[in-house]
Every structure is written in structure tokens, then in C-alpha cells.
Structure 1
């Protein structure tokens, strides 16, 4: 297979690991970081072109190499604290417009399963989104804008809660009490499985789809998170009694379409020897 020229917008916790995998597969990678110094440092580490780019304050004159890519993976989060999702949505749709004008052939947008909102029970790739949060609403609107421009030459990948390396929800939940949603299913996916899925989409040229990704096992939050905290040597969180069932993300159709088997099909596999599992 001849290598593609692939842009990765957002070389952070997920994007940097993805860049390493794509470089190892023989692709020409162009990455972005918001800070110029961080971009230079990562460029030296990866051995590829990493350019400074902030979607909220874009300077497209500095990213000509990105706009010349065959495929662009948009992996830009709005930020977890005090995010202005209206501004984020406007910036992302303007960025998509720029990619389209530059005749970038394919776009893969990394979205979130929060677009499904408060749906209950099994959620498949065919479930109708019903976003409730500002994040979910913004991501759903960005997805729609992408499809309007790119149609069958783009793909959306919606991710459940991301963990891997030193990242795990139990670190932020540790020691907390009166947490809601005791009986709600856990929906998590490991970074290694996300990267394998993105690589499969690119290599198989799976465009025109809406995929989503989550581990296959969905233990109740009140069972899993205290266990995970104890495994990591943290104080277990406490949940209040809950009768709500919540939603569980069924990614079996995505896995079948891509011919994939998850490395971490169970959230319990994502923690090994008392620590969060390696990549």
C-alpha cells in the first residue's frame, strides 16, 4: 500500500500516539499543536512536520502542508473547563470549510458518544442522536456540517470515555461520595483500540460512515469505579442508589465492518497489576 499524506489536527494525548502508529505504517504525517514551541519539540521527537495551529485563532498561512494532505483527522477537543461550545462549533465548521476549499480529499472527525444524550438501553450506530449537553450539541452540529460538505468522502468516529496510559476516570472520582448513576453502565474505550480503529478506517478507505467505539462489557458504575480505584491504590468513590438504567454503547457493527477485535473488550482489562494499563 502506498502511503498517504495524513494531517492530524491535535497531536495531544491521542493524536501523538496516532501519529507514531501512522509513521510506523509508512505514511507521511503532518501534525498540529497550538503552541509553537510545543510544535517544534514534537516535530523533533516524532521526526515529522508538526506545525502550530489553534482552531480558535487560526492562521492558515502557517499550515499549507496540512491543507495539502490527502486525509485530515480532526481531533480537536473544546477543552474541559469553561469551554465556549458556541465558539468551538463556529471555529470547527469554519475549519471544515477551509479544508473543503483546499480540496482535502477525506476528513475523519473524532466525535463523542455524548451526541446520544440521555438515551436508555442499547445504543447502536443507527440510534438517533439526542444531545443534551452543550458538548453533545456542538459535536452533533459539526458532524452535520461535515456531511453537508464532504458526504461520502468523510467519516465520523464517535468515542466513548477514553482511557489509557495514566488516564482513568477513577483518578478524578477517587474519594468522592454521593455520586449519581450507581446502576448506569460504564462506557469506556482504550486509546490503543481507538488508534487501531482509526488506522483501519484509513487503510480500508472506509468513507461515508458514522462509526462509534466502546468496550464490549458494561459493568455498573457503582461496581466498576470503586474496584478500579482500589486497583490503583486510591480511595474508592461512593455512589447513591440509582434505579436508572442509562445507555450502553454497542459497537459491534463498527467492529464487524472494520474486521476488528478489541484489545481491551472489558474495562477490567484496562487496568493491569494495580496500574492503568500501558498503550
Structure 2
């Protein structure tokens, strides 16, 4: 393991739900440059002590922000917390990637990409980082990962599970709605564990790795919904399909290599 690094300046491109929480967590130790697509959020981000900038990577009329580019060039790590949808048009994703590479042209630090376990197909079997043949990975997310790997030799890819914690909890999204594949198992992660893992990866200067970030326990959707709603199984709204499809994604690689213990290993106990 590399020795811990200090005195980092960190960039976060995409200060949304996760990016904002990560920025607040890291700000106790690091200076931060962050971006948002929402003008009204700039004063809030500035009030937190961040150097904040408006940035819209989806525009076909993208204009490079020289001031932002210069600030980012002084960082040791840039975290890409950008929503790349596995269901979006590939042409839209290519525009974002093109604009991002224009902004980060010449960058020499470590880039951390928040990817998604949505890159994996539903196999019903345990999945590690190297289980699935690349030709079976989601084309959009695979394109993003490959494009950035080609551009940044030190790219660190983190494939995140379903983001939970605070105002995000499973039952919130299925009140009075059918739960698709209710007996499949969830692959969730609490944002606190993402923050702690990212900080540890930064401290030890990890790069050129791909990790799954998913809580190690995988209750079924039925179990999780019942627990959060304090209901019995026959009270829930289910879809007609009770087949156990889906996937079970393993985070064993990162927990082993970083000797990490999850703060929230069980989605039943997320807060």
C-alpha cells in the first residue's frame, strides 16, 4: 500500500446529491473546487467554503471555462460525479465526454470516475469486477469508462450501487406502487461509506483500479420494504412477477485491499 498523502486540493465535477455530501465530508481536510449545473446553488456552495463554478457539459455549444480549468489543474484529484445514464442516447453521452475532455485537457492528477453497477447485466449470480465479459456490459457506461481510461492513465473507476441515506430510502419510491421483481436482492450503498472509501483512496493515492462500491449484505426488496414500512409481506404491493432475477454485486475486492469495514453493511439499517 502507498503511504498516505496530505495537502491535497480536490475537484468535484457534479456537486449534486452525492457530490455535495462528499464535498462537505472532504472539506474538513481538503480545499475544494466544485461545479454545478444550477445557478441558484452557487451561493450555497460558496457559503460552504467551496470554490464553485457553473458547468454544463451537455451543451453542444460548450465554451471552455479558463478560470475553472486553471483551478482544476492545481488539484491532485478530480472526482467525476456526473450522471451518465445507461438508457440515454449514446450521442448525448458522447457530447458530455467530448466537453469533459476539453475541460480537462492536459490534466496530470488522478481522476476518479463514479460509474454504476448498472453496467452489469442481470445474471442472478454474484458479480465481481471481472466476472462479466466486456461485450455484455452496458454499452453506454462501458463507453464512458473506456473513453476516460484512454484519456487518463491514472483513472480510478468506482462502480456505485444504489445511493441511499438521509432522504433516500427504498420504500419512499414504492409507496402504493408495484415493486418490480420483489424477491430480487438489492445492491445499495450508504453515502457515508462512499465518502469514507473515497477519502481513503485519496489518502493512499490509489489509481488504475476498478472497484464495486456496494454494501456487503443484500436483503430482498420485499424484506427491505417491509422493514421500512413495518408491514407484513402480504400487505405490500407486488408486481405479478415473483421470479428472483437481478444481480448480486460483490464489494469484496475493495474491502480486502483497503482493509475496510462498512459503517452501514446492511441496507436494513441505513439511516
Q: Would the TM-score normalized by the shorter structure come out above 0.5?
A: yes
Q: What per-residue deviation string (whole Å, max 9, x for no partner) do you get for residues 116-173 of structure 1?
A: 022231001212266889xx4322110011111223x110000111101111121111
Structure (1 or 2) with the greater helix fraction: 1
Structure 1 gaps, min length 5: 271-276
> Where does residue 155 of structure 2 map in the other structure?
154
1:70 to 2:76 alignment: yes
CA contact (8 A) 1:71 1:105 kept: yes
Compute the RMSD of aligned alpha carbons: 2.4
> Where does residue 63 of structure 2 map in the other structure?
59
CA contact (8 A) 1:186 1:220 kept: yes
Cα distance in 2, alignment partners of residues 100 and 48 from structure 1: 19
Structure 2 gaps, min length 5: none
> Where does residue 196 of structure 1 map in the other structure?
196
> Where does residue 43 of structure 1 map in the other structure?
46
Q: Tell me how many residue pairs correspond in the alignment.
A: 260
TM-score (norm 1): 0.84
Give the Å deviation of 1:222: 2.2
Cα distance in 2, alignment partners of residues 131 and 115 from structure 1: 11
Deviates more, 1:66-75 or 1:156-165: 66-75
Q: What pairs up with 1:5-154 in 2 under 5 angstroms?
A: 5-25=9-29, 27-44=30-47, 46-57=48-59, 58-61=62-65, 62-64=67-69, 65-78=71-84, 84-128=88-132, 136-151=138-153, 153-154=154-155
Q: What per-residue deviation string (whole Å, max 9, x for no partner) do you get for residues 65-121 of structure 1?
A: 2344221100011479xx743244213321442255232421100000010022231
CA contact (8 A) 1:175 1:237 kept: yes
Cα distance in 2, alignment partners of residues 243 and 161 from structure 1: 21
Structure number with the bigger relative contact order (C-alpha 8 A, sep ≥ 6) is 2
